[in-house]
Structure 1
Amino acid sequence: MKFLIDAWDFSQNPAKAITNDDQVQARPGCWYHFQRDIDGIHEWLKAADIPEPLIDAMLEEDTRPRFQRLKDGFVLLLRGVNLNDGAQPEDMMSLRILYYKDTVYTFRKHHFKAVAQIRDDLSRQQGPESLHDFLVHLVEQLNQKIEDVIDDIEIGVERLEAEGFDNTAAQQQTLTTLHRRLLRLNRFIRPQLAALDKFTSESEKWVDSELHQWLLNERDTTQRLLEQIDLMLEQVWMQREQIQQAVAEKMNRNTYWLSVIAGVFLPLSFLTGVFGINIGGMPGVENASAFEIFCWVLLGIAVVEFLLLRRLRFW
């Protein structure tokens, strides 16, 4: 069965891998991990007596994090960061979890490093010891991968805050990228917190107190990650405002100096324009020293204007 990625039997301790062949059948106390976009999975799930609406919910293309309680279990839809080569981590991937009649089914479309970590731990006999423990480990691994990505973004935000405003164009572009990444994470982590909150509340009825406390800790971790994202969104917004203010101040300063220069040269331009009229009656036309005298007069006017502007504290 190409759609079955992995299967483990938790009815024994440590958990034992189930051979992936055509004889694999769903049975209680096991975990089955599927590639949901391969033909044949629908028929296999139907043969496992899973209701048609649940199969459709597990195989539909677009989902958002949510928790739904069932008569014989629950549906938990979560999102994890995309750590595959060439992918953007903030493009979060969907992981569908179906707990039905004491059997766990998980469905993916892309490779999940969080799930792969659990499978590696199980192969070394260091992984979860029960299906309930597996669910706690899965939420923990998803949160850990998300936290690593958020920490990388936080380092980028702090690096920008430590820089000056010499290259505002590049900083604006970097801030836009960070802002977009944070918004994509926030889009799924916020409903994921609500789903985990319901899941944790319901788990108190069927898991022991220790595992329930671990789930509470992971719910709190998700809450902390969401608060961290909100804080960084505020930091990005404040940094953007500071950059815009620095750009505005720079433009105002340049405009101010251009105004000062224009003010100095305005009377000089007026005089040169008047004496540039090539008509009869212009003074100094017959005097060989007229041009030199005129230049000294212009220089004197410029000095007087400079001293006047300094006295009036224009700078």
Structure 2
Amino acid sequence: MGVELHDNRGLICGYLLQSQGPAVAIEIGAVSAVEPPADALWLHFNLNDGRARAWIGGCTWLPAEGRERLLGSERSAFLEVWGNAISGALADVYSDDPERFGLVYVHVNQNCLISGRRHPVTAAALLHADLAAGLPIDTTPALFNRLFTHLVATRTKAVAEFVAVIDQAEDRVFAGAYHAVRLGQHRGGMARLRRQLVADRNACVDFFAHPPAWWPKPATKNLRRLGGALTSAVQDLELTEDRARLINEEIDSRQIERTNRNLYFVSMAAAVFLPMTVISGIFGMNVGGLPWVEDASGFRWVMACMAAAVTLALALLAWRRML
């Protein structure tokens, strides 16, 4: 018996927003590329699929700038407000690899939020899960705010995880177990995360300050709050990076101190036992004329000389305050 595979022509998910009740899932066939939608909707595409790109490129009710942004090849975050629409791309964490980042491309107006990605990203997947679970969202500003909320929450969680790692490393260092602390990989991850946080923050500055005229004031207030949370996350991450650098400096300092103590011990041991080595070397020479060779108490005299030499060495070191 054959199995029929579902094919939505590159559409990952689509939802029709309703003023009352949860959003309704729709197929790509239910949305015309010629006639603009009568109700607000969200379409999220896989931009690796040629059919999705063809649908976006041939959608006549999307302005040319919106199609260009959605199908663009930009590799950095940006967000532009032009006319009655918002277009751009925001950095997001990969769903299957939290240490890597991709872009989610967006176009927003009063009637639709069209988005796309080339690799599965976290925020869009969480928004999809919200709507699939029946979360009521009735407008595109509320939908975009929810998407941006997930972006900020994901980054804030990542920053909190790095803070916890640095806290644990700091405790280990000051407990003396610094030899087990390795921060190189974490410092690289923090640097990558900071770049993406700053990119998203900078991309949204103009939008937060001058949203479109149709954007409701409550949604604007919420966006500015999210922007403040994003800025706080950047500051927390920068502080955490500074702490990581100071911990590395403390580890280096303690390792140098430990090495110096070991070298000091070796040096003192060499200084103390050097006279004994010299005496034993002298009396070990196989030549005539050595004292006490025929004396039955010669061994005791040699040991006494060694003891006296060690005592003298210790006294000299103590006099020089080297012990």
TM-score with structure 1 length normalisation? Answer: 0.89
- The 2-side partners of 1:241 and 1:235 are apart by 10
1:76 and 2:88 correspond: yes
Please name the residue that 1:205 is paired with. Answer: 213
1:131 and 2:140 correspond: yes
Q: Secondary structure of the equivalent of 2:43?
A: strand
Q: Decide whether the 8 Å contact of 2:85 with 2:108 is kept in 1.
A: yes
Please name the residue that 1:151 is paired with. Answer: 160
Q: Secondary structure of the equivalent of 2:191?
A: helix
Please name the residue that 1:120 is paired with. Answer: 129
1:3 and 2:10 correspond: yes
1:227 Cα deviation from its structure 2 partner:
0.3
Judged with a 3 Å threshold, the aligned counterparts in structure 2 of structure 1 residues 152 and 142 are, in CA distance, closer, same or farther, namely: same
Judged with a 3 Å threshold, the aligned counterparts in structure 2 of structure 1 residues 119 and 232 are, in CA distance, closer, same or farther, namely: same
- The 2-side partners of 1:96 and 1:144 are apart by 19
- The 2-side partners of 1:99 and 1:211 are apart by 14
1:196 Cα deviation from its structure 2 partner:
1.6
- The 2-side partners of 1:160 and 1:192 are apart by 29
1:235 Cα deviation from its structure 2 partner:
0.3
Please name the residue that 2:180 is paired with. Answer: 170
Q: Decide whether the 8 Å contact of 1:9 with 1:15 is kept in 2.
A: no
Please name the residue that 1:46 is paired with. Answer: 57
Please name the residue that 1:33 is paired with. Answer: 44
- The 1-side partners of 2:213 and 2:121 are apart by 29
Q: Decide whether the 8 Å contact of 2:86 with 2:109 is kept in 1.
A: yes
Give the number of aligned pairs: 310
Deviates more, 1:222-231 or 1:113-122: 113-122
- Residue deviations 1:54-106 (CA, integer Å, cap 9, x gap): 5454345552111123345221311122343xx2x131221111125742111
- The 2-side partners of 1:298 and 1:144 are apart by 73
Which ranges in structure 2 are unaligned for 5 or more consecutive residues?
1-7
Aligned pair partner of 2:70 in 28, 33, 58: 58
Identity in percent: 20
1:14 Cα deviation from its structure 2 partner:
3.4
- Correspondences of 1:98-113 after superposition (within 5 Å): 98-99=107-108, 102-113=111-122
Q: Decide whether the 8 Å contact of 2:81 with 2:211 is kept in 1.
A: no
Judged with a 3 Å threshold, the aligned counterparts in structure 2 of structure 1 residues 288 and 60 are, in CA distance, closer, same or farther, namely: farther
- The 2-side partners of 1:39 and 1:221 are apart by 37
Q: Decide whether the 8 Å contact of 1:189 with 1:226 is kept in 2.
A: yes
TM-score with structure 2 length normalisation? Answer: 0.87
Please name the residue that 1:238 is paired with. Answer: 246
Q: Secondary structure of the equivalent of 1:203?
A: coil
Please name the residue that 2:322 is paired with. Answer: 314
Q: Decide whether the 8 Å contact of 1:118 with 1:127 is kept in 2.
A: no
Name the Cα RMSD after superposition.
Answer: 2.3
Which amino acid letter does the alignment assign opposite residue 91 of structure 2?
R
Q: Decide whether the 8 Å contact of 1:10 with 1:30 is kept in 2.
A: yes
Which amino acid letter does the alignment assign opposite residue 24 of structure 2?
A
